[in-house]
Chains A and B, each alone.
Chain A
Amino acid sequence: GAVVSQHPSWVICKSGTSVKIECRSLDFQATTMFWYRQFPKQSLMLMATSNEGSKATYEQGVEKDKFLINHASLTLSTLTVTSAHPEDSSFYICSAPSPILSSYEQYFGPGTRLTVT
């Protein structure tokens, strides 16, 4: 089946620094990828849609200047949390839609645990 990887799996950074998270589709191409954020005991919250070759689409309330998204190729999207603060600590998960056009399934990465101290 289709596999999506994320790197790093966890990261600890100091307040004010920036952190980059990578999301890769390993055996298929993805012109679109999705970035989610998940707080403890809560559901997935869609942050933005990453589009290869064009600007990302952000959900309402998500600061585009703080969460920079770059979809550099058909297999790689990156999320950079700029000037991170403790309230940005969360579990970040990316996903890519199934390459099968008639399917609405998504393949999720394993997630990245971000802790800002």
Chain B
Amino acid sequence: GQQLNQSPQSMFIQEGEDVSMNCTSSSIFNTWLWYKQDPGEGPVLLIALYKAGELTSNGRLTAQFGITRKDSFLNISASIPSDVGIYFCAGPDSGGFKTIFGAGTRLFVKA
């Protein structure tokens, strides 16, 4: 079935550093979604990408929809302690109804 592979699994960085994480799949996705989950909370949508090649920013966050439609990356610039959490990439399954989630990238930011 469809799967999303996220890397890295976890990252330990210093406050102020930039962060890059990505998501790949062996199958094509027509939409890429990036969510963040704070500890003990539900995920919140950060960025949604709908077109191959699309580059979208949301504050310090930038995400791109890979031209092959099989990958996407998320960058965070000038990280701050509240960036701590789990970042999930996601996309609709082939039926367009359910959402498939990657395993997540756990981000730890040291002040």
Please indicate whether A and B come from the same complex rather than being unrelated chains: yes
Given contacts A43-B103, A43-B104, A49-B98, contact A104 B43 (CB under 8 A): no
Interface segment, one of A11-19, A69-77, A79-87, A105-113 = A105-113
B98–A109 CB distance below 8 A? no
- Within residues 1 to 31 of chain A, which ones have a CB less than 8 A from any CB in chain B? 4, 6
Docked Cα-Cα span, A103 to B30, in Å, equals 11
B99–A104 CB distance below 8 A? yes
Q: Which residue of A lies closest to B104 (CB)?
A: A43
Q: What is the size, in residues, of chain A's interface with B at 8 Å between Cβ atoms?
A: 22
Docked Cα-Cα span, A50 to B43, in Å, equals 19
Chain A: minimal CB distance from B110 (Å)? 19
Docked Cα-Cα span, A92 to B52, in Å, equals 33
Residue A95 at the chain B interface, CB threshold 8 Å? yes
Residue A46 at the chain B interface, CB threshold 8 Å? yes
> Can you show 9 pairs from A to B with CB atoms below 8 A apart?
A44-B88, A49-B97, A103-B48, A104-B91, A104-B96, A108-B35, A111-B40, A111-B41, A111-B42
Known: A43-B88, A43-B102, A46-B98. 12 other contacts (CB 8 A): A4-B42, A34-B98, A41-B106, A43-B104, A44-B43, A95-B42, A95-B99, A103-B48, A104-B91, A105-B45, A111-B42, A113-B40
Binding site for A on B (CB under 8 A): 31, 33, 35, 40-45, 48, 88, 91-92, 96-99, 101-104, 106
